């Protein structure tokens, strides 16, 4: 069954106000910026964002007023430092206050892994002695039943929806991804619903030719969106590289509320779809980001 929808339809159907949404799960690559921008255009409210390093997409959603809670290890601008909108929200409640539950990269991964396998929690010794368990009430320090030593219990975290950007998918939601995947697989399996955003829409036969690259079961996928360059300015291995200049420009322009609002109007609010966004980005800039040297994996023999 085809699940192919437009970006606007996918967000309208499957990311309602108040939803918990896992994004940016491959760390620096494969960040679904096109989804985030459509969320902003549809003026979603009271979202809880879940993720590891949580690059500037989180910052944009916070600045646009879409977010009420953050469950993450870090929010900012990886190559530049601070996320100005995140800082304004935490320190000055601008545009409004947000609730923050802190994790490390490892423990946010464990929380999603627990939900993906149906476990109520996963015990670990990481973070013992740090301030994070005191800040995050979800994390509990208990005694191990095996040797009475302290352990940290990381409870399962199930997003209402996980959004993953991939290199290619068929219309049923069987998706291929490669390169650094971070915690995409755990978040895919943990979520109630999944939205796939793909640079290429391919046949089911293409997916079957390499089944080990399938990210997760298609029955969890609610929508497949074909959105070339949908992860820009982050990278998609084999498609396009990271736009470092874009991150720098964002950092410089969003230091003030007025600067962020001007940036938001230019790149999101006055841009009805990704095609218009790419036209604004320009062919020359896109050409500098395209892959210069292809490096294909060796063929795999699935014969029997």
Whole-number Å distance between alpha carbons of 221 and 195: 6
Mean pLDDT over the full length of the chain: 96
| One domain, residues 168 and 89 | yes
Q: Which has the closest alpha carbon to 242: 101, 74, 97, 33?
A: 33
Quick check: 79 pLDDT over 90?
no
Which residue(s) pair with 99 in the sheet? Answer: 69
Dihedral over alpha carbons 171, 302, 239, 12 (to 10 degrees): 20
Residue 179: predicted pLDDT:
95
Map residue 240 onto helix, strand or coil: strand
Q: In Å, how far are 34, 140, 239, 263, 295 from 281, measured between CA atoms?
A: 13, 47, 16, 13, 26
What confidence score (pLDDT) does residue 231 get? 98
What confidence score (pLDDT) does residue 143 get?
95
Residue 209 belongs to domain with CATH number: 3.40.1080.10
- Within this chain, do residues 42 and 117 fall inside the same structural domain, yes or no? no
Which pLDDT score is estimated for 53?
Answer: 85
Alpha carbon distance 218, 102 (integer Å): 31
Reported as a single tens digit per residue, the pLDDT across 191-213 is: 999 999 999 999 999 999 999 99
What 3-state class would DSSP assign to 77? strand
56 close to 66: Cβ distance less than 8 angstroms: no
Q: Which residues pair with 101 in a beta bridge?
A: 71
Residue 81: the pLDDT is 85
Tokens 């959004």 — which residue?
163
Tell me the per-residue pLDDT of 13-39, one tens digit each, with 9 for 90 and over: 999 999 999 999 999 999 999 999 999
Q: Percent of the chain at pLDDT above 70?
A: 100
Using 50, 70 and 90 to split pLDDT, how confident is the model at 54? Answer: confident
Range of the domain at 57: 7-103+158-279
- Tens of pLDDT, residues 1-16: 899 999 999 999 999 9
* 16 and 148, same domain (yes or no): no
Would you give the DSSP letter of residue 81? B
**Is the same domain home to 32 and 123?**
no
Count of H helices and E strands in the chain?
A: 12, 11
Q: Are residues 117 and 163 in the same domain?
A: no
243 shares its domain with 112? no
Which pLDDT value is given to residue 1? 87
228 and 172 share a domain? yes
Strands (E), the chain: 20-22, 47-51, 67-72, 99-102, 121-124, 140-143, 150-155, 161-169, 175-176, 193-201, 221-226
Q: Phi/psi of residue 168, each to 5°?
A: -155, 155
Q: How far is 65 from 143, CA to CA, in rounded Å?
A: 41
Q: Are residues 182 and 248 in the same domain?
A: yes
Smallest CA-to-CA distance from 96 within 107, 85, 104 is with 85
State mean pLDDT over 85-103.
Answer: 96
Tell me what pLDDT residue 258 has: 97
Taking only the tens place, the pLDDT of each residue in 129-184 is 999 999 999 999 999 999 999 999 999 999 999 999 999 999 999 999 999 999 99
Contact by Cβ (8 Å): 83, 59: yes
Confidence (pTM) = 0.96
Asked if 93 and 181 sit in the same domain, the reply is yes
- Total domains, the chain: 2
Residue 263 lies in a domain: yes
């Amino acid at each position: 069954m085809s699940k192919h929808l437009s970006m606007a339809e996918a967000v309208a159907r499957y990311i309602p106000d108040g939803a918990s949404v896992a994004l940016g799960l491959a760390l620096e690559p494969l960040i679904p910026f096109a989804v985030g921008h459509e969320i902003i255009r549809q003026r979603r409210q009271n979202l809880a964002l879940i993720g590891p390093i949580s690059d500037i997409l989180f910052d944009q959603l916070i600045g646009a007023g879409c977010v009420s809670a953050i469950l993450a290890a870090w929010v900012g601008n990886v190559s530049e430092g601070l996320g100005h909108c995140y800082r304004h929200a935490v320190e000055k409640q601008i545009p409004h206050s947000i609730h923050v539950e802190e994790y490390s990269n490892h423990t946010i991964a464990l929380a999603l892994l627990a939900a993906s396998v149906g476990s109520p929690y996963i015990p670990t010794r990481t973070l013992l002695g740090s301030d994070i368990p005191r800040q995050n009430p979800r994390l509990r320090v208990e005694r191990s039943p095996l040797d009475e030593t302290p352990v940290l219990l990381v409870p399962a975290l199930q997003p209402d929806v996980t959004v993953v950007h991939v290199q290619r998918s068929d219309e049923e939601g069987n998706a291929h991804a490669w390169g650094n995947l971070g915690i995409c697989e755990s978040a895919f399996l943990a979520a109630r619903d999944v939205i796939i955003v793909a640079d290429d829409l391919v046949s089911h036969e293409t997916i079957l030719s390499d089944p080990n690259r399938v990210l997760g079961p298609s029955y969890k996928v609610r929508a497949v969106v074909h959105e070339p360059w949908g992860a820009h300015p982050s990278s998609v291995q084999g498609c396009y590289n990271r736009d470092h200049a874009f991150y720098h420009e964002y950092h410089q322009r969003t230091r003030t509320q007025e600067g962020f609002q001007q940036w938001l109007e230019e790149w999101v609010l006055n841009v009805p779809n990704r095609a218009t966004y790419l036209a604004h980005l320009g062919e020359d800039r896109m050409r500098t980001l395209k892959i210069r040297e292809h490096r294909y994996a060796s063929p795999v023999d699935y014969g029997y």
